[in-house]
């Protein structure tokens, strides 16, 4: 859906057409992937294979390649950088502000992992904007969990009332009962650029990355794992599954099925009245801590402000899902913006959807696949982009050393809730 607004259309029409056609071209190329054969290899034995080269798999390929060089193979079913999964857009929120000290500590390591990527590549992949967590009184997400976790992890933050938020960022219209915390390290991870950077670094370390090659069979036999694609058969000492929305398809080859919900989530880019008001130096990343939960970004990557609704989506199938934005969902997101960020929306620049892969408790899975010796996996539960590099590092440790340097308790693949026949879903974190 391309929603237009005549008033807003005129000054930006040229640029919008260029940007939109760039995305459309990339998308069309991805959907017609049979016509494009990209990267292949004739080598068949590797120390580690990474299945899936989205956000997390690209991170894993990079961190593995730092230790195993050309003994790493990454396999992607679509063209690299495709738009069918969960990791491609200009921006994802990165923040220390989380509801438990465990996540805050992991987030500290996430920043360190991205810094390593920036140093090694010379490419910036994180932009610090500062971040607001905005909590209406009695909202569904308790702000106290966040302030407690930050305090216990010795992370500085400011507590602000609604009038102070509006004094510092006059873009906001907030009722008196809204409280906020501001954390200065919050910002955005430049998702597509970071994925490209991970893959470029992995290749420069010697890793082989192939695409347009769906994995169709996985078999563990003795100390080896056999990974068969539509065109080749490979062997490795360890396999890392980073399959996103297709995770259960891969796990089925190993006799495992997990209660994962794949949902279709929407983001909307709108044209602001005054672009400068939403420049990253003037407008922080934000999250509305309630049900429904909205979040948003300053202008970045598109000439427009990005606003989204966390967990607005309905369960879908990654192979048959729609790419068409849902008009009602887009309208609901815009109503929030009209109420609280009145200068942010003179018309829609771009609306699109993307996939979450949710666990019932919304915690990650980062573990050995149950019943296997040499197969590991990660599931991002709809909030893992900020962690894509550090999760890649932890997966590399699991695959090579058998243990990780960070406490992964709570992220087990066989934790109680993942073994229940009909687990209760609680997605608000």
Ligand X SMILES: Cc1cc2nc3c(=O)[nH]c(=O)nc-3n(C[C@H](O)[C@H](O)[C@H](O)COP(=O)(O)OP(=O)(O)OC[C@H]3O[C@@H](n4cnc5c(N)ncnc54)[C@H](O)[C@@H]3O)c2cc1C
Q: Rule CB under 6 A: which residues touch ligand X?
A: 51-57, 75-78, 85-87, 92-93, 214-215, 242-246, 249-250, 265, 267, 308, 354-356, 380, 382-386
Q: How far is the CB of 10 from ligand X (least distance, A)?
A: 29
Nearer to ligand X, 143 or 260 (CB): 260
Structure tokens at 311: 């967990």
Nearer to ligand X, 143 or 384 (CB): 384
Contact between 236 and 224 (Cβ < 8 Å): yes
> In sequence order, which residues have a C-beta less than 8 Å from that of residue 27 and are 6 or more positions away?
83, 323
Q: How far is the CB of 287 from ligand X (least distance, A)?
A: 9
Nearer to ligand X, 162 or 393 (CB): 393
Q: Mind giving me the DSSP string for 217-235?
A: EEEEETTEEEEEESS-EEE
Nearer to ligand X, 8 or 316 (CB): 316
Nearer to ligand X, 49 or 143 (CB): 49
Q: Which of 75, 101, 99 is nearest to 214 (CA)?
A: 75
| Residue nearest ligand X, Cβ-based | 54
Q: How far is the CB of 62 from ligand X (least distance, A)?
A: 13
H-run or E-run covering 64: helix 55-68
* Separate counts of helices (H) and strands (E) for the chain: 10, 19
d(CA 253, CA 415): 21
Q: How many CB atoms lie within 10 A of CB 281?
A: 9
Q: How far is the CB of 387 from ligand X (least distance, A)?
A: 6
Half-sphere exposure of residue 176: CA atoms within 13 angstroms, side-chain side: 0
Beta strands in 289-416 (DSSP E): 293-297, 305-310, 348-358, 365-368, 375-379
Nearer to ligand X, 235 or 249 (CB): 249
Nearer to ligand X, 299 or 308 (CB): 308
Q: How many CB atoms lie within 10 A of CB 236?
A: 23
The DSSP call for residue 326 is P
Q: How far is the CB of 80 from ligand X (least distance, A)?
A: 8
Q: How far is the CB of 13 from ligand X (least distance, A)?
A: 26
Q: How far is the CB of 419 from ligand X (least distance, A)?
A: 21
């Amino acid at each position: 859906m391309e929603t237009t607004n005549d008033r807003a259309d005129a000054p930006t029409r040229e640029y919008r057409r260029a940007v939109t056609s760039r995305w459309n071209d990339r998308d069309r190329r991805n959907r017609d992937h049979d016509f494009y054969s990209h990267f292949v290899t004739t080598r068949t034995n590797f120390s580690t294979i990474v299945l899936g080269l989205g956000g997390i798999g690209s991170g894993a390929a990079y961190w593995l390649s730092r230790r195993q060089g050309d003994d790493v193979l990454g396999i992607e079913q679509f063209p690299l950088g495709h738009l069918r999964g969960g990791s491609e857009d200009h921006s994802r929120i990165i923040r220390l502000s989380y509801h438990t000290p465990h996540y805050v500590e992991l987030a500290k390591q996430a920043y360190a992992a991205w810094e390593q990527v920036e140093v090694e590549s010379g490419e910036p992949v994180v932009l610090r904007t500062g971040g607001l967590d905005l909590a209406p009184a009695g909202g569904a997400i308790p702000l106290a969990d966040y302030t407690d976790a930050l305090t216990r992890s010795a992370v500085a933050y400011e507590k602000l009332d609604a009038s102070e938020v509006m004094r510092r960022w006059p873009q906001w219209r907030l009722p008196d009962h809204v409280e906020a915390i501001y954390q200065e390290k919050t910002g955005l991870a430049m998702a597509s650029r970071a994925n490209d950077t991970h893959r470029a670094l992995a290749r420069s370390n010697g890793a082989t990355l192939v695409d347009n090659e769906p994995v169709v069979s996985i078999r563990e036999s003795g100390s080896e794992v056999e990974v068969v694609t539509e065109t080749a058969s490979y062997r490795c000492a360890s396999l890392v599954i980073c399959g996103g929305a297709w995770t259960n398809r891969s796990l089925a080859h190993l006799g495992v099925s997990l209660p994962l919900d794949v949902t279709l989530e929407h983001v909307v880019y709108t044209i602001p009245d005054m672009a400068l008001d939403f420049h990253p130096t003037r407008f922080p990343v934000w999250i509305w801590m309630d049900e429904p939960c909205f979040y948003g970004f300053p202008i970045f990557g598109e000439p427009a402000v990005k606003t989204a609704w966390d967990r607005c989506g309905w369960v879908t199938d990654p192979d048959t899902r729609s790419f068409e934005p849902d008009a009602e969902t887009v309208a609901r997101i815009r109503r929030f913006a009209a109420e609280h960020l009145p200068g942010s929306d003179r018309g829609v620049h771009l609306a699109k959807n993307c996939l979450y892969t949710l666990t019932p408790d919304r915690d990650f899975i980062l573990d050995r696949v149950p019943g296997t010796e040499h197969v590991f996996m990660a599931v991002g539960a709809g909030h893992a982009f900020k962690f894509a590099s550090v999760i890649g590092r932890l997966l590399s440790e699991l695959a090579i050393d058998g243990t990780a340097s960070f406490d992964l308790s709570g992220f087990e693949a066989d934790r109680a809730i993942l073994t229940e026949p009909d687990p209760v879903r609680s997605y608000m974190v």
